[in-house]
Structure 1
């Protein structure tokens, strides 16, 4: 199944590993025949602060939002699937991406009277720690539960998964190439993953 995938990237530096991963992931998507659009949250000057005009209003059946959020909602509606690429900071989303979730995936669009129509969501999280360190205190399960259940499934997308790219800090060059190859394969195989149980 070919899809139109919105790739949302959160990192302040274009020369970061996050953007290298994004580039390789998108090449994999293209190789598989998917269409893509990349949204660099820093480049578009996205404001991550939830202000009064975009607060969820549960009294409204259809809520109107600020122009910036209406634009991002329109963008999301044009795509069949979503991928988020980001560094994992404090076992969570970066503030910029958290703000995007807070503001764009809002009441009456992503949850409430309406939910997201997307076929699937992929979260590509770059982790500075090893897989063993991630699992030591069940951080991985906690993050998966938050993103797959707390956000994606709550917004109506049951086919959601988190892929960790481990040891992204001070690794030998060959390891970085392995991470980029992993990102490429995630793109190539993007549509081949069926929904998995969302509980941890």
Structure 2
């Protein structure tokens, strides 16, 4: 399997990148190929301007050179993974801008859907599972990613995975999270889409 791994964090020495590196190691050890797209270091502009505004009157549109480049990059892979910190119970603006601009009309939805068979959303949360469960933030995030985004663009297997307490200092906790990230890469081809990803 050829996986496009998209990472969104302003610092390469962040725990997000440590998780991404361990995830990629798992992918490779399982025999998969992967390309890592670092949205910040690539210089990607998350702001949607007129050139990339969806044209509802046409089946296809030629978008800006930057977006067309990213569309071609996505076409080279048959699976996707996104690794990012959870800020304000959602993805960072950089990643949201990538989805807004690249997963565009005529490519990801409308006259055409994405060909990718699976996507993993790997979010890092500074708080605990109990905090997220208290107000069902975990379910909200999973529903948004699996149904609002992945199902809408035709991806049949979508899984939202959250690593909790990423700011915690308990001995061995960080290494356990990194092992979890490695296992997600190692068993990437085995996960089934969450039940919440099915349209009701």
TM-score range, shorter chain: over 0.9
1:42: which partner in 2? Answer: 40
Q: What does residue range 161-180 of structure 1 map to in structure 2 within 5 Å?
A: 161-180=159-178
How far 1:195 sits from its partner (Å)? 3.0
Within a 5 Å distance, the mapping from 1:1-200 to structure 2 comes to 3-197=1-195, 198=197
> For the Cα contact (< 8 Å) 1:126–1:168, is it kept in 2?
yes
Q: Which runs of 5+ in 2 are unaligned?
A: none
1:173–1:19 Cα change, 3 Å = farther
Where does the alignment leave 5 or more consecutive residues of structure 1 unmatched?
A: none
Equivalent pair of 1:121/1:159 in contact (CA under 8 Å): yes
| 52 and 91 in structure 1: CA distance in 2 versus 1, 3 angstrom threshold | same
State the alpha-carbon separation in 1 of the partners of residues 45 and 87 from structure 2: 19
Cα distance per residue 1:33-87 (max 9 Å; x no partner):
0000000000011000010110010111111100000000000000010000000
* TM-score in terms of structure 2 length: 0.97
Deviations 1:125-163 (A, max 9, x none): 000111111110000110001000000000000210101
8 Å contact from structure 1 (residues 148, 158) kept in 2:
no
- Residue 155 of structure 1 aligns to a residue in which SS? coil
Q: CA RMSD in A?
A: 1.1
Offset of residue 194 of structure 1: 2.3
Distance in 1 separating the partners of 2:122 and 2:169: 19
Deviation at 1:193, TM superposition (A): 1.1
Q: Provide the rounded CA distance (Å) in 2 between the counterparts of 1:184 and 1:171.
A: 20
CA positional deviation for 1:187: 0.3
Structure 1 segments (4+ residues) deviating >4 Å: none
Give 1:172 shift. 2.6
2:3 and 2:81 in contact (8 A); partners too: yes
